[in-house]
Amino acid sequence: MREVLYLSRADVEALGPSPSEIVRLMEELFRAKAAGRVELPPKPGIHPRPDAFIHAMPAYIASLDAAGLKWVAGYPGNSVRGLPYIHGLLLLNDAETGVPVAIMDATWITAMRTAAVSALAALYLAAPGRITLAILGLGVQARSHLQTMAAVLAVAEVRAYDRDPARTATFVRDAVQLAPGVSVVPCDTPAQAVRGATVIVTAGPIARNPRPSIRPEWLADGSLLLPIDFDSMVTPEAMAACRAFIVDDAGQYAYYRSIGYFASAPVAPEGELGDVIAGRLAGRTRPEERITSVNLGLAMEDVGLGYHLYRAAIERGVGTRLPL
């Protein structure tokens, strides 16, 4: 009888590698992508509610011989119901036969791989020296970004902003455990968080018709914008003030523009993050230049990390076997 291995969120978190290990895994995956060793079609999606999405994200990673699909939902209205913004499941298939071999919760995977790619982009694109990090939108992604960036970057200070002051206070309180020794300063406005910051992460809900607030005059020389919520917080003028506009995948970016996102963002990015990592594209050419790096979230990140977790589960005997 064929079986599939089920890994709950608790299983996934218990098996999970450290933030720095996940960053190294993401770097390997982007190098594989730049070498043409990843099959990564644009993710199709459905949109049952305003600004909500449910996406199918398939990928095949030849270097790992790993195949899988993440089925992930993002619902901005979930916060008032006491539910996370992001939910998801990851399905892995045996690449030789196509038989499903594992199903696992993808909520932790999504949070950690996203933060790891942001940290990876900062390693290659941020100006040299210690970092003043601004994080706007203090949900799950803000926490994983703080934890991961503090683990791999020289973070001198973090400025934290959320439109809900109570959420800001909770984030600052919890930061002691997430990033010991890092100073986290609560901010009352987006401008207070952004002005003088060298790396800026915007982590709010993704909106098809956004009302962004971050202005170009707020951006310090040498700053790096990492808008993981697409263009929901960063104005077109702020993006235009950056010397380079880099994306994680040009095909995915073109797909999102075709369905109405990034309406006022640059039509053609300068290149992809994988090309910077592989040395085919210059990232930062001068310390004072500003750069935007848009990481849309790629299925290879989920499948790669999920495959790592699956192998660890097999070795350690973790998870529940379910009959097919």
pLDDT in tens, 221-238: 999 999 999 999 999 999
Model confidence at 129, pLDDT cuts 50, 70, 90, reads: very high
Instruction: Residue 95: give the domain boundaries.
Output: 3-109+300-323
Are 49 and 64 part of one and the same domain? yes
| The two structure tokens encoding residue 216 | 């170009």
Residues 84 and 68 in one domain: yes
What whole-number distance in Å separates Cα of residue 58 and Cα of residue 262? 23
Structure tokens belonging to residue 176: 């002691």
Are 284 and 309 found together in one domain? no
Question: Residue 76 — pLDDT band, cuts 50, 70, 90?
Answer: confident
- pLDDT, residue 280, reads 93
235 and 268, same structural domain?
A: yes
Among 208, 214, 201, smallest CA distance to 171 is for 201
- The answer to whether residue 138 is domain-embedded is yes
pLDDT of residue 79: 80
CA angle, residues 98, 100, 105, in degrees to nearest 5? 140
292 and 305 belong to one structural domain: no
Residues 16 and 102 in one domain: yes
Establish if 194 belongs to a structural domain: yes
147 and 100 housed in the same domain? no
Cα distances from 78 to residues 74, 139, 174, 201, in angstroms, run 9, 12, 22, 22
Query: pLDDT (tens digit, 9 = 90+) per residue, 256-310?
Result: 898 888 888 887 899 999 999 999 998 899 999 999 999 999 999 999 999 999 9
* 10 and 53 part of one domain: yes
pLDDT above 90 coverage of the chain, percent: 85
Residue 170 lies in a domain: yes
Strand partners, 135: 160, 201
> Domains in the chain: how many in total?
2
Q: Is residue 121 domain-resident?
A: no
Task: Give the C-alpha separation, 156 to 20, whole Å.
Answer: 18
Choose among 84, 92, 148, 105: nearest CA to 295: 148
pLDDT at 278: 96
Say which residues have a Cβ less than 8 Å from residue 99's Cβ, sequence separation at least 6.
2, 93, 324
**What tokens were used for 70?**
């993440």
| Phi, psi for residue 25 in degrees, rounded to 5 | -65, -45
Quick one: 163 and 105 in the same domain?
no
pTM over 0.85: yes
